[in-house]
Amino acid sequence: MRKLALPNFTVSDALTACLAHVGDAELASRLQSVQAHLTSAEQDYDHNASATTLHKIEPTDDVLGLVSKKEMVALYEGNFRRTKTQGRRIYDALKAGATHGICPLCGVQRANTLDHHLAKTEHPTFSITPINLVPSCSDCNHSKLTHQPKSSAEEALHPYYDDVDDARWLFARLIEEQPASLIFFAHPPSDWDQTKRARVIRHFDSLSLARLYTSQSSDHLPSMRFRLERLLKTVGPLGVREHLIEELNDRLKDRNNSWQIAMYDVLSNSEWY
């Protein structure tokens, strides 16, 4: 998972933008009446997300009994996500927060949507709260578990609040068959606390990242093999290893975890390969 900078927008900005397109005066008035509550809930969210205690925020069926879940979801879909609305400008700016347009959750696919970190069906209060809206690819958005976590260890990693790239945790095993293939696995460092270790493993499993990374590397390995065979003829096996180590070290300057880093690591250490 790749860490992202916190959004520059507040729920108050989002609500103001959405209200520009609410024609029903009675609904507009009810939405205005919950504005202060949405702001205090946003502060509460920020505090809990920083402490990995978002699981303590109880699901609700509405916002203060004044705005229903259905109305909040409709507000998000119709006045925030829908193109050519003022809300959409914030939606697009949040989506653009993904580094190089890549989904921060898998680090591979294009971030083409926003994921409600706390699901809007469980937590309508956070339907349009920017810090709850994380750029993601459709696959990660769909495979994220929607169940309410019961403990910190069960909380999904949050790109605005969590940093799990301070040490290496993503590794690969080489399957020594023709054609060679890789199996990826999460192995967090033993000096991390139990909660962080559990969350990384959960993240890796729930998003089926092993499958995604194997497919990415399987696509990449054949073309790489031609290049390495050419190198083998000119610089020999030691030269090939040096090349793989160089590729690994160049990538490690940028981050600690990616399927490419895991791949170059296992290949440069393999006698067989």
What is the total count of residues that contact Zn ion (CB under 5 A)? Answer: 6
> Please, which residue, 103 or 134, has the CB nearer to Zn ion?
103
**Using the rule CB under 5 A, is 14 a contact of Zn ion?**
no
Q: How far is the CB of 101 from Zn ion (least distance, A)?
A: 12
> Please, which residue, 121 or 206, has the CB nearer to Zn ion?
206
> Please, which residue, 137 or 262, has the CB nearer to Zn ion?
137
Site string for Zn ion, 50-89 (x = CB under 5 A): ----------------------------------------
Task: Considering only residues 121 through 180, tell me which ones interact with Zn ion, judged by CB under 5 A.
Answer: 137, 140
Q: How far is the CB of 132 from Zn ion (least distance, A)?
A: 17
DSSP 8-state symbol, 124: G
Site string for Zn ion, 230-249 (x = CB under 5 A): --------------------
Task: Considering only residues 99 through 128, tell me which ones interact with Zn ion, judged by CB under 5 A.
Answer: 103, 105-106, 109
| Distance, CA of 37 to CA of 99 (rounded, Å) | 32
Task: Considering only residues 198 through 227, tell me which ones interact with Zn ion, judged by CB under 5 A.
Answer: none
Q: How far is the CB of 143 from Zn ion (least distance, A)?
A: 9
Q: How far is the CB of 209 from Zn ion (least distance, A)?
A: 9
> Please, which residue, 115 or 247, has the CB nearer to Zn ion?
115
Per CB under 5 A, residues contacting Zn ion are 103, 105-106, 109, 137, 140
